[in-house]
Structure 1
Amino acid sequence: MGTPPVTHDDIVRFADERVNLKRDDAKELREQANRLREKLENYLEEHPDFDLRKMLLSGSLAKGTALKSISDIDVGCYVSSESAPEKISDLVDWLAKKLRTAFPNFKPEQVKPKEYSVAVNFISTGNEVDIVPILYDGDPKWRGYLVSQDTGEKLMTSVPMHLEFIRKRKNANDKHFAQLVRLMKFWCKLQKAADDGFRFKSFMVELIVAHLADRGTPLGDYPRALAAIFAFLASDEFRTTIAFNDYYDPKTCKVTNDPMRIWDPVNCENNVAKLYTASNKDKIVQAALDAGDAVDSARRAITKGEAVRFWQKVFGSSFSA
């Protein structure tokens, strides 16, 4: 087969224009999160017994996988587990009060409790920092416990270890790992907009791309790599249990009959797809099958216009080449 009408370079241009968060915008958002972190550090210097221990940028912005449409900045806030309440509603209210104390220059309405986090709003930019409490008792690798948004149970996590996990895949795959994660997240966003019942959270996307990258799937040609990712989702149908050996032996993960089994790379007791039903799984598989067919058709297309129309089935009407 000759060179397809829509090439890797065309996908790169589309991603730069429509998918990726611009470097300057990412820098501005990181700086705002860092200003909060520095304010807390300054407060801790004067109040070493304060119950908040550390703030760390987390989520897609920290990982370098943020989309252009990013709506908030995710920050993990490590709090003393001896002092903090464990019930999530009480914990969020408690954290909001602590943050107002640590950030006295912020108006009370700028620090608002949400259902599972505290939102800190910057009036000057309108940007919002979403601060998630992590119960912490002094672990040197900053392992702590999130209170699950879905079940209320405590789940061990570590922001630095998660970032190290992603950084390792980025280093092994140049810029391609992060870019393919962003392209897949963009595809997921379109699926969710078209179907309220479609679920496929970003963390799971990252782990599936990491799983394939670890097993040698070439990522340097985006049409081929996307075809491989969609083919895996459509053919495997989540029969494979996905786990990683960075921080534990995958054999120690507990056996479960959950329809989807994707283990947190820092916690072999946390199946991040635990609450996904067979129906949720089937929707992902069918969407991946349709997207894979479109990518294959685009790669076989004779004209560029024909190829673009197939790629629009994957990336929406904004796609052009």
Structure 2
Amino acid sequence: MPLNNTQLCYYDSNVLRLPADKRSEYHAQVDRLIAELSRSIRDKTEIKITKVVKAGSFAKFTILRKTNVDPVDVDVVFYISGRSVDQETLSSLNDTIYDLLIKIYPTKDVEDFQIQRKAATVSFVGTGISVDIVPVIEDASRPGYGWQFDIHDYSKIQTCAPCQLQFVRDRKAQDKDFRTLVRLAKKWRNHAELKPFKSFVIELIMAHVLDQEGKTGSIEYRFRRFLLYIAQSNLKKTIQFPENGAPLKSFADPVVILDPVCGQNNVAARISEAERQQIVAAAQVAWETANFASAENDNEIWKEIFGPRFKVEDE
């Protein structure tokens, strides 16, 4: 017998979803970082911050609670005005933010500082969360939009953090279980160790399946439908959304998922052909396992998909 919505909502609420007290704790730590960094930038540099936006899975409410295999990352976007849109600007911004972070936080409070492709990252000892500080050069002509850079390949993309948050809100308004489904998919991803399968990609595939198939059926059925979509499409079909306006760019990447806030971006551009095959194969296995678990009404089989902490009732 399939799992009912009450059972999967129990699993989501009691095992997957970030509890309210932890969300408040993380918010407070991130707010302190934003305040300290904003003050340092204002007092020690000529950089002008126009807006700060918490983004990513944390702000979308699709983040998983922290475990040994489920890390917590918080994205913080700093919109900056009065700067040219070039690689030199990005490098100097990242270096400046990195240097200021090191000065702000004593080493006993911080596990690590890193400069990633598009952000400076600080990992905290106490809470165990990592915060990515993402500098974006504001596009004065488009509210919420700005230019984000990659320090490795020197590419730049136009992004809109508030628009991406609104995209998930719109899907949640359309389907009240959307965030639960995303968290289920992310837990499967983590248990299957599909590191190239980024959270944003998962959210967009789930949104595409919702757009194409609607919200008919149980949570379990729709989770299996998500896996089946990946297995049947082989992730070879270009995914785009009603929000995508012209012009749309063509891509030759193995997986193409257009950013709903900018049709010039391929969100899945870094998934290689080998990684595409790995994700598709894992989805096929998970779909077969989920169907068997559903037919057998066996939670031990579901643990092959979600890991040993899977449960649907108090023990």
Task: Report the TM-score when normalising by structure 1.
Answer: 0.82
Q: Is the 8 A contact 2:251 2:266 kept in 1?
A: no
Displacement of 1:150 after TM fit? 5.5
Could you tell me which residue of structure 2 aligns to residue 161 of structure 1? 163
Seen in structure 2, the aligned counterparts of structure 1 residues 126 and 239 have a Cα distance that, compared at 3 Å, is closer
Q: CA RMSD in A?
A: 3.0
1:278 to 260, 273, 276: 273
Distance (whole Å) between structure 1 residues aligned to residue 123 and residue 271 of structure 2: 32
- Deviations 1:99-128 (Å, cap 9, x if unpaired)? 68xxx9x34656945234234566775654
Q: Tell me, what secondary structure is at the counterpart of 2:147?
A: strand
Could you tell me which residue of structure 1 aligns to residue 238 of structure 2? 241
Q: Is the 8 A contact 1:85 1:94 kept in 2?
A: no
Query: Structure 1, unaligned stretches of length 5 or more?
Result: none
Seen in structure 2, the aligned counterparts of structure 1 residues 5 and 127 have a Cα distance that, compared at 3 Å, is closer
Could you tell me which residue of structure 1 aligns to residue 299 of structure 2? 308
Displacement of 1:264 after TM fit? 0.8
- Deviations 1:163-205 (Å, cap 9, x if unpaired)? 111111111112x11111111011111111xx6xx52111100
Could you tell me which residue of structure 2 aligns to residue 9 of structure 1? 6
Q: Is the 8 A contact 1:204 1:272 kept in 2?
A: yes
Letter in 2 for 1:273: A
Stretch of structure 1 that moved more, 235-244 or 252-261: 252-261
Could you tell me which residue of structure 1 aligns to residue 254 of structure 2? 259
Q: Write out aligned runs for 1:180-259 (5 A).
A: 180-192=181-193, 199-218=196-215, 221-249=218-246, 252-259=247-254
- Deviations 1:189-230 (Å, cap 9, x if unpaired)? 1111xx6xx521111000001111122332662210111111
Q: Tell me, what secondary structure is at the counterpart of 2:51?
A: strand
Task: Report the TM-score when normalising by structure 2.
Answer: 0.84
Identity %: 29
Q: Is the 8 A contact 1:30 1:61 kept in 2?
A: no
Distance (whole Å) between structure 2 residues aligned to residue 224 and residue 124 of structure 1: 39
Displacement of 1:21 after TM fit? 0.9
- Deviations 1:256-287 (Å, cap 9, x if unpaired)? 33221101111111111123222111111111
Could you tell me which residue of structure 1 aligns to residue 290 of structure 2? 295
Seen in structure 2, the aligned counterparts of structure 1 residues 315 and 165 have a Cα distance that, compared at 3 Å, is same
User: In the alignment, is residue 71 of structure 1 matched against residue 62 of structure 2?
Assistant: no
Q: Is the 8 A contact 2:248 2:264 kept in 1?
A: yes
Could you tell me which residue of structure 1 aligns to residue 20 of structure 2? 23
Q: Is the 8 A contact 2:249 2:265 kept in 1?
A: no
Query: Structure 2, unaligned stretches of length 5 or more?
Result: none
